[in-house]
């Protein structure tokens, strides 16, 4: 693999697969029926399958049960069964081990998944190496108090600062590399990656970015003005967001859809490109624009 391979978003074709982690969402896969089908298919093909120890009593055969850390470190790829939320949850941990992810959609939209429930042809693609691995930019969200970092989170989709509660307006100021780009009276402000541009940011009026782009999209949520627009800045820029008086509502920080922090008046967040990148397995015959049209058509 060439030096600085990470600079190329679509970077390499996979080696021959021998060790695969299977990560199911038990709430999406009732009785783990689909997971058992996938595990059976893989073990029949002489693949070493890793799963978390908590599934050891669920009737799986020929599976190596271990801790999450051992599984992520030992496998060559991970099959994630669930919706987009399941992939978002595992992505920061998998990224620390450079582990590629392949999603099987058991949810509603499944934009991050590579196949739908019951589509086992994707495993033919995986096992014969007919795929590329796309390196997707992630975001670091630092929480700062008096210029001292007190917390840090990693996001694949987006970081959102919003009012706490239904339709609670906040006043937010955003700056890029120290220069103020605007103050927004709005329901919130989204900082999204290219991958996250098809999620909350799109619903709030943001544009779609190709997932190979390294950029940060800033999209206000229901701004109380006719002038506020979504803005795209380079991926190596530093974005800071602070809550401004009058404090009509508490400002809450959401990272990939999960509530992570409540901003005090003297605190702010800093959003930058993470050192980690999520690796998504993509079949060579799967085109982003075809997926976009399929997933987002009326």
Examine the domain organization and report whether 159 and 101 are in the same domain. Answer: no
Residues with a catalytic annotation lie at 84
Task: Establish whether 201 is an annotated binding residue.
Answer: yes
Examine the domain organization and report whether 110 and 240 are in the same domain. Answer: no
Examine the domain organization and report whether 57 and 169 are in the same domain. Answer: no
The CATH number of whichever domain residue 70 belongs to comes to 3.40.50.10330
Do the domain assignments include residue 219? yes
Do the domain assignments include residue 295? no
The C-alpha atoms of residue 104 and residue 34 are separated, in whole angstroms, by 10
Do the domain assignments include residue 30? yes
Task: Establish whether 199 is an annotated binding residue.
Answer: yes
The CATH number of whichever domain residue 194 belongs to comes to 2.60.200.30
CA dist 57 to 29, 68, 181, 191, Å? 16, 16, 54, 41
Examine the domain organization and report whether 113 and 23 are in the same domain. Answer: yes
Task: Give the structural domain span for 84.
Answer: 17-128
Q: Which of 76, 99, 128 is the last residue of a domain?
A: 128
The C-alpha atoms of residue 206 and residue 241 are separated, in whole angstroms, by 18
The C-alpha atoms of residue 166 and residue 172 are separated, in whole angstroms, by 17
Do the domain assignments include residue 214? yes
| pLDDT computed for residue 110 by the predictor | 82
Examine the domain organization and report whether 102 and 144 are in the same domain. Answer: no
Examine the domain organization and report whether 50 and 93 are in the same domain. Answer: yes
Examine the domain organization and report whether 151 and 266 are in the same domain. Answer: yes
Per-residue pLDDT of the chain (298 residues; tens, 9 = 90+): 333 433 444 444 445 789 999 999 999 999 999 999 999 999 999 999 999 999 999 999 999 999 999 999 999 999 999 999 999 999 999 999 999 999 999 987 788 999 999 989 999 989 988 899 999 999 999 999 988 999 999 999 999 999 987 768 899 999 999 999 999 999 999 999 999 999 999 999 999 999 989 999 999 999 998 888 999 999 999 999 999 988 878 899 999 999 999 999 899 999 999 999 999 998 877 778 888 888 777 6
Q: Based on the number of CB atoms within 10 Å of its own CB, is 58 exposed (0-12), middle (13-18) or buried (19 or more)?
A: middle
Domain count of the fold of the chain:
2
Task: Establish whether 195 is an annotated binding residue.
Answer: yes
| pLDDT computed for residue 167 by the predictor | 65
Q: Could you tell me the two tokens for 240?
A: 């800071």
Q: Could you tell me the two tokens for 17?
A: 């697969």
The C-alpha atoms of residue 217 and residue 230 are separated, in whole angstroms, by 7
Do the domain assignments include residue 28? yes
Scanning the structure block, which residue is given the tokens 């969200």? 141
Examine the domain organization and report whether 57 and 150 are in the same domain. Answer: no
Examine the domain organization and report whether 203 and 84 are in the same domain. Answer: no
Task: Establish whether 202 is an annotated binding residue.
Answer: yes
pTM: 0.90
Examine the domain organization and report whether 89 and 146 are in the same domain. Answer: no
């Amino acid at each position: 693999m060439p030096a600085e391979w990470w600079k190329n978003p679509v970077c390499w074709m996979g080696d021959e697969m021998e060790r695969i982690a299977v990560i199911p969402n038990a709430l999406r896969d009732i009785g783990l029926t689909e997971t058992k089908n996938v595990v059976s298919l893989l073990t029949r093909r002489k693949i070493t399958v890793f799963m978390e120890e908590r599934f050891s009593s669920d009737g799986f055969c020929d599976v190596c049960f271990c801790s999450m850390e051992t599984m992520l470190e030992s496998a060559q790829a991970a099959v994630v069964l669930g919706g987009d939320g399941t992939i978002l949850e595992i992505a920061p941990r998998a990224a620390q081990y450079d582990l590629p992810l392949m999603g099987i959609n058991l949810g509603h939209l499944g934009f991050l998944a590579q196949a739908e429930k019951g589509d086992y042809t994707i495993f033919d693609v995986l096992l014969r190496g007919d795929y590329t691995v796309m390196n997707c930019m992630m975001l670091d969200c630092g929480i700062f108090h008096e210029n001292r970092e007190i917390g840090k989170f990693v996001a694949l989709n987006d970081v959102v600062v919003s009012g706490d509660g239904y339709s609670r307006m906040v006043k937010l100021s955003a700056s890029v590399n120290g220069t103020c780009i605007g103050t927004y009276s709005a329901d919130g402000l989204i900082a999204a990656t290219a991958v996250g541009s098809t999620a909350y940011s799109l619903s709030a009026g943001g544009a779609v970015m190709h997932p190979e782009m390294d950029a940060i999209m800033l999209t206000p949520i229901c701004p109380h003005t006719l002038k506020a627009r979504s803005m795209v800045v380079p991926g190596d820029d530093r974005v800071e967001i602070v809550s401004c008086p009058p404090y009509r509502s508490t400002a809450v920080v959401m990272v990939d859809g999960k509530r992570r922090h409540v901003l005090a008046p003297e605190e702010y967040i800093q959003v930058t490109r993470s050192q980690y990148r999520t690796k998504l397995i993509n079949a060579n015959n799967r085109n982003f624009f075809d997926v976009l049209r399929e997933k987002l058509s009326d």
